[in-house]
Structure 1
Amino acid sequence: MRLQQIQFLKKLGFGLREIADMLAREEWNWSGSLKQQLHYVINEQKKLNQTESDLRGLLHSLAVEGATNRDVIHRLIRSSGSDSAIKHDYRVRMFEERELPLLERLPNLNSDDPDSLEWIALLGQLNKYGDSDPDSPAIQRIIARMHEKYLEEFGGEEAFAEKLWDIRKSSEQSEQMGLYPIHDRLISLIENAYAIFLSRNN
């Protein structure tokens, strides 16, 4: 029976020395110990969730960049290290109150939701064809799908989209927003290819 008690308490995360005290002392404060351990486990779980999110972000950066080099990691560290309060204040300052919920629809590099994964894949494909002409069929197909996704998520919100794209084009503003740091070459390719797409479809 005592062995089962020890194994159970170890499973809950208690150390052997603490378990010995818990089982030896009749007056042990079980409620206090369990609450303290629960608090510890919750905090550790948050840390693990953040670690999982960071690892997913790095893996997804591979899909976008084709390779994760020191520059990419440096940009990700700077982006993830931005103070959440600063990000929030910047968003409130840059967008109207009614536009703030739209920001929740933006793709998240650290997420596995289908929309984010498709955006990541599209950016990765564009990066793969980065040296091609913006007018090439391969790039125009990718841009066409990006446009479809834009309409699905933000159709009718042209002012919001333009404001967001202006921020996107600035690495400094993107960092303040907490957006994934897309390099200038890819930004330029998207802008040029999209201009061609619109000229043919408007």
Structure 2
Amino acid sequence: MKKPLLAVKDIVQITGITSRTLHYYDRIHLYKPTHLTEKGYRLYDRSSLAKLQTILFLKELDFSLKEIADIVKLSRQEQEQILKQQRQTLLSRKQRLESIMAALEEYVSGKDISQLQLFNSTSALPLKQQYENEARFIYGETETYKEFNETLESISPDEKEARFESMEVIFKQIASCGDQDPASDEVQRLIEQWKPNLMQFMTCDEELLACIANTYKFDVRFKNYFNQYGNEDLADFLYSAIMYNINR
């Protein structure tokens, strides 16, 4: 029995791709019809379906059409070698997407962007290193920053974590006082606790405290960081409380 020729509509019905796609593949010489009728209709024999299915498979593997055009000309062994390399590429991409999804879920759940593990597989530096570079760029020549950096380098990771955690406890307590005046005794008592915690890392005069207060108020990253304590106005509240403490 002679194998029937398939029209474009038959190919569309079998594979699910559009006639426009078939026409485009023909135009770029990727997948051409087996025959053309006198009226210019495209016809395909059944054996050519295997090539089309290979093209669709390679496209699903994220090869470009130009790459696919080169791959289908190769032997099966050569194709397998390229597919092994592509598998590694896709695995790396999968791992990166999983990392991005994890960071996205943490951000949506309220975690500050400065604490996310991002940019580890890109040309951009990790956020933590970006912040360190920014601080070094702005304050690197000051004695205060040198003191801060030397202090961080001299303490153990566990002690460093404990000091930051004590700061977070105070921020949470201040956040719970959001219905009070920043100048209230309770809020100012907490600011007085905050200052020595800060001074574990650097010597803070009034000028530097004012600088920190302004950073809390105007740097969107700090605003986002403080949002995790459940008070969207905490950055502004801290600014007012610190400035009152300086000026009183």
> Which structure has more helix as a fraction of its residues?
1
Structure with max Cα Rg: 2
Q: TM-score, normalised by structure 1?
A: 0.46
Q: TM-score, normalised by structure 2?
A: 0.39
